[in-house]
Chain A
Amino acid sequence: MVGERFGSKLVKFYIPLILYLVFLLFPFYWMVVSSFKPLEELLMDPANLGLDIRRIDFRAYYEVLFEHGFIRYISNSVYVSIITVLFSVTLATVGGYAATRLRFRGRAFMSYSILVIYMFPAIVLVIPLYVVFSHMGLRDSIHVLMLVYLAQTLPVALYMLRSYFQNLPVEIEYAGMTDGCSRLGVIWRIVIPLSAPALASVALYTFMIAWNEFLFAFMFLDTPEKFTLSRGVVQLAGSVHLSKQLVMAASVMVTIPILVVFLLFERHLVRGLTAGAMKG
């Protein structure tokens, strides 16, 4: 009986899941394995998917980091991503709160325009922005890049936080105000602690966009010292002496931090922080 049920579950659920995962993870596996092999081995036996644990070779990482300037690119990317996250979360919190709870002229217009801005595809904006920033002499700068990332992530961040704030019971805020909080005090002491899951999602989303973004980085940045990681990988892949294992090692370095950040934040993405506030 039990075996039978397990058997049908195996067929219906686990086998498709495993196939899906293999399909999804294979490129990553290949990327990691290739990054650990010396170039000769890749060239002599490209079909070999296995990896000899005893012959793991970190030379590609060393070369990418220290000879191809990736230390610099990583620190640029970390800087850009973290600052973008900080600004995006802060602005989206106060902006989303204002759009939810405060009444002001143009409130409805603001809510709509948030979404409209998001609907512009990046490729439409990149050319005019390229021209504008070139004329202003500001183009080749990671701070301008951050501004663009902020403009790209803020609409969604605002939208996410606004819908979360709308579901927070307003009575809790009223209680805070009668208990002696100012409006900012209510945001700081009540709204933010209760919105931790939403703030974590917004931070994660913004970080991923800023970390992975390629198009604007590619168009805007000319000076190698200012390159972000994704821009650096392309630089590497396009260089004359294309070394596959180096590109693979660089790609691993782009991917791993995202995974780490995701796993760190994932624990906070739980819902139901307001449990117990109301009559229930």
Chain B
Amino acid sequence: MASLTVKGITKAFGKIRALADVDLDVEDGEFCVLLGPSGCGKSTLLNIIAGLIPQDQGSVLFSGRPVDHLAPRERDVAMVFQSYALYPHMTVAENLGFGLRMHGVPRPVIRERLQEAAQLLGIEDLLQRKPRELSGGQRQRVAMGRALVRRPNLFLLDEPLSNLDARLRANVRIELKRIHRQIKGTFVYVTHDQVEAMTLGEKVVVMGEGKMHQIGTPEAIYSSPANRFVATFIGSPEMNVYEGKVVNKDGVPCFQGAGFFLTEVGLQPDLAEKEVELGIRPEDIAIAHEPATGPRATVEMISNTGSERYIHARLGNEPLTLLAPKDTALQPGRVISLDIDPAKVHIFYRGRRI
């Protein structure tokens, strides 16, 4: 196993900048998740780490040694592709053993490792089948197995679960975490699914438009997003974010949004007269008991996700989403007053957290 360092990687496809001066450190044995919307350059970064496409600038290091001049086969990385990319003309056993055979591993060792990986993934009965005779979930396992038998420097996974149905995905996610703990490998895992990123990652890197917006633990990224992009990308339903101005009211800084006022939301006095953005997660807003002095909102709709219900309301001219109390019987049209915890309010000035 190895640690991974990415230094100042830049890559453009024609005029489109896919990656702009990207830095990343992944420790030996760490599970790092690259999270971002599609087209943010995360798969490109993975391909550059694997050596499949060349970067324009910057350097990739394994355990401190540059590998830029090495071909993919010399970097000793294993990759799991979103499309699985199994070798259709080979059986499952041949698919699993191919990488080892190419690296000149002796046959008895290949057989042993193959059995081990097949057992770990529960695909022992499938070894003699061809990929076309497998279901989607089974193909996914074979793709994982092909990486696992290799025991490489680095595991690179490019959205490996995105083609599975929701239930299977949840199971494989847990399994993947167990496997990582068992083999203690260095993993770089690309996904656009924040639930995957939060459950799997020890380190989560939020990417957007070829840049890294924040690197941190899942908790840190959720509770203190570095900028507006991270704040709105992480969390479902999305964080409520309002543009507005800080005004002084009786010496206390208040937030003036479109058609509403918020007092006591933890604004610093030095922000006075500045344009800021204010974000509050739906679960950080409570409904105040009457009589209350908090800001008022009008209920428009209640949505149900099964385990939770959300109230969609209107605050001044802006939409507002909040987590409904368990026993709520609110009807559209009711006016509620809000209880906002100032400690849970996120304030962004020029897009950055302050």
Contacts and interface: CB of A to CB of B under 8 A. Distances in A.
B81 A171 contact: yes
A278 B85 contact: yes
Interface of A is mostly: loop
Interface centre among A171, A175, A182, A278 (most CB of B within 10 A): A175
Contact of B99 (A169, A179, A193, A278): A179
Contact of B85 (A169, A182, A185): A169
Contact of A177 (B72, B132, B136): B72
B50 A179 contact: no
Measured as residues with beta carbon below 8 angstroms from the partner, the interface class of chain A is: 20 to 34
Q: Give the one of B88, B99, B103, B146 with max A CB within 10 A.
A: B88
Interface in A264-280: 273-280
| CB-based closest 8 A-B pairs | A276-B132, A180-B102, A276-B131, A179-B99, A171-B85, A277-B88, A279-B163, A177-B72
Contacts of A180: 73, 99, 102-103
A65 to B, nearest CB: 42
Contacts of A274: 88
A32 interface: no
A172 B73 contact: no
Interface in B78-118: 78-79, 81-89, 98-99, 102-103
Given A178-B72, A179-B98, A277 B130 contact: no
A273 B136 contact: no
A246 B136 CA distance: 62
Query: Looking at chain B, what size class is its interface with the partner chain?
Result: 35 or more
Interface in B305-351: none
Interface string B156-167: 100000010000
B88 A178 contact: no
Contact of A171 (B72, B83, B99, B156): B83
Contact of A277 (B51, B72, B84): B84
A178 B78 contact: yes
Contact of B73 (A169, A178, A275): A178
B131 to A, nearest CB: 3
B73 A182 contact: yes
Given A174-B72, A176-B87, A177-B52, 17 more contacts: A171-B82, A171-B85, A172-B86, A174-B79, A174-B81, A175-B86, A175-B146, A178-B50, A179-B99, A179-B102, A179-B146, A180-B102, A181-B102, A275-B88, A276-B130, A278-B83, A279-B83
A126 interface: no
Interface in A128-184: 169, 171-172, 174-182
Contacts of B75: 178
Given A185-B102, A194-B89, A278-B83, A174 B73 contact: no
Contact of B52 (A172, A174, A280): A174
A34 to B, nearest CB: 47
B139 A279 contact: yes
A82 interface: no
A276 B86 contact: yes
B241 interface: no
B133 interface: yes
Contacts of B83: 169, 171, 277-279
Nearest to A193: B89
A177 B81 CA distance: 13
A175 B47 CA distance: 11
A277 B87 CA distance: 6
A278 B71 contact: no
B33 interface: no
B132 A275 contact: yes
Contact of A178 (B79, B84, B87, B133): B79
A193 B79 CA distance: 22
Contacts of B86: 172, 175, 276-277
Given A172-B87, A175-B87, A276 B163 contact: no
